[in-house]
Structure 1
Amino acid sequence: MNIILAEVTEDNFWDLIQLKSDEVQETRIQIFERWVGSNVFFLGVCHVYGFTARAIYDGGTLIGFASFGYRKEHERYELISVMLGHPYQGKGYGKAILQAIIDTMVDLYECKEIYLSVIHNNERAIRTYEKMGFKPTGEIEKGFHDEPVYCLKLNSNE
Structure 2
Amino acid sequence: MNLTLSEVTEENFWDVINLKSDKNQEERIQIFERWVGSNAFFLGACQVYDFIPRAIYDNQTLIGFTSYGYRKEHKRYELISIMLGHQYQGKGYGTPILKAVVDEMSELYKCKEIYLSVIHDNESAKRIYEKIGFKATGEIEKGHHDELVYCLKLAE
TM-score (normalised: structure 1): 0.98
Q: Report the equivalent of 2:37.
A: 37
2:101 paired with 1:101: yes
What RMSD in Å do the two structures reach over aligned CA positions?
0.4
Give me the whole-angstrom Cα distance separating, in 2, the residues matched to 1:100 and 1:39. Answer: 19
Q: What is the Cα deviation at residue 81 of structure 1? A: 0.2
Q: What is the Cα deviation at residue 76 of structure 1? A: 0.3
Q: Report the equivalent of 1:69.
A: 69
2:116 paired with 1:122: no
Pairing 1:127-146 to 2, within 5 Å after superposition: 127-146=127-146
Q: Provide Cα deviations, 1:97-148, integer angstroms capped at 9, x if missing partner.
A: 0000001001111111000000000000000000010000010001111111
Q: Provide Cα deviations, 1:68-95, integer angstroms capped at 9, x if missing partner.
A: 0000000000000000000000000000
Give me the whole-angstrom Cα distance separating, in 2, the residues matched to 1:96 and 1:125. Answer: 13
Give me the whole-angstrom Cα distance separating, in 1, the residues matched to 2:145 and 2:29. Answer: 20
Give me the whole-angstrom Cα distance separating, in 1, the residues matched to 2:139 and 2:133. Answer: 17
Deviation >6 Å, runs of 4+: none
2:26 paired with 1:26: yes
The total of aligned residue pairs comes to: 156
Gaps of 5+ in 1: none
Q: Report the equivalent of 2:90.
A: 90
Structure 1 residue identity aligned to 2:88: Y
Partner of 1:70: helix, strand, or coil?
Answer: strand
Give me the whole-angstrom Cα distance separating, in 1, the residues matched to 2:82 and 2:68. Answer: 9
Q: Provide Cα deviations, 1:24-67, integer angstroms capped at 9, x if missing partner.
A: 00011000000000000000000000000000000110000000
Q: Report the equivalent of 1:57.
A: 57
Partner of 2:119: helix, strand, or coil?
Answer: coil
